Amino acid sequence: MMLVLLQTVALPSEAPPSSTSFLDILMQGGWVMIPIALLSLLTVYLIVERWITVQKAKINPQQIMDRVRSYVEAGDVRGALAYCEAQDKPITRILRHGLERLGRPIAEIRDAVEAAGKYEAFELEKRMDVLASIAGIAPMLGFLGTVTGMIEAFQQIQNLQGNVNPSVLAGGIWEALLTTAFGLIVGILALFGHNVLLTRINRLVNDMERSATDFIDLLQEPVPHPRRHPETLL
């Protein structure tokens, strides 16, 4: 009985399963994980910031042009300007630049509208090139981390003259592959966000170009009411 008890006490107890947190996994990836983590934060910020900008710029271009057309045909330029200022959208800001130059040569009005359109398109596409760069840089950083990790693993094998436990070698390899996995995740997220945002931005730019063209055509149409009050055009 005493022997059985001693044997029971002498048996090694099972070690509790080790839990690895997400932060620990990131730290095992090496120094390359630091720029990848920074790029991931920058990616999320750019996607959210550009998405909010695009959502604020959304508007019905046909409705805007119908309202501006009604004001211009009635000779109420001040009302058209007040309406555009109240909306404060890229399309209305472009039309406002044209309305402010009514009475000048049509070429000057067209140049002002085109310049305003280019500026608004630039504001919508701002920082999109950074998002596209992250989509290409993040996976490359991941591959770099994997290559440097594999170099260190094989250096350890050489230092130990090949007497390496396979489990230790496998652990070094999966730690080296961590950077590739996280780099690909960040790159895919940046590429997806870039493509989705670019599609919506192109749609907005197309609406702005169409509205600008309609506005110039409106100014070249014959006036339906020849009697106009000069004071309303000031």
Residue 234 lies in a domain: no
Residue 47 lies in a domain: yes
- Report how far residue 23's alpha carbon sits from residue 110's, in angstroms, rounded to the nearest whole number: 57
Residue 48 lies in a domain: yes
Residue 51 lies in a domain: yes
The parts of the chain modelled with pLDDT lower than 70 are 1-29, 160-172, 222-234
pLDDT of residue 20: 55
Quick one: angle between helices 106-125 and 166-220, nearest 10?
160
Residue 227 lies in a domain: no
Residue 5 lies in a domain: no
- Report how far residue 122's alpha carbon sits from residue 115's, in angstroms, rounded to the nearest whole number: 11
Residue 77: which domain range? 30-220
Task: Give the sign of the dihedral formed by CA 163, CA 168, CA 172, CA 173.
Answer: positive
The pair phi, psi for residue 30, each rounded to 5°, is 95, -175
Residue 57 lies in a domain: yes
Task: Find how far residue 205's CA is from the centre of its chain.
Answer: 16
Residue 24 lies in a domain: no
pLDDT of residue 110: 92
Domain count, the chain: 1
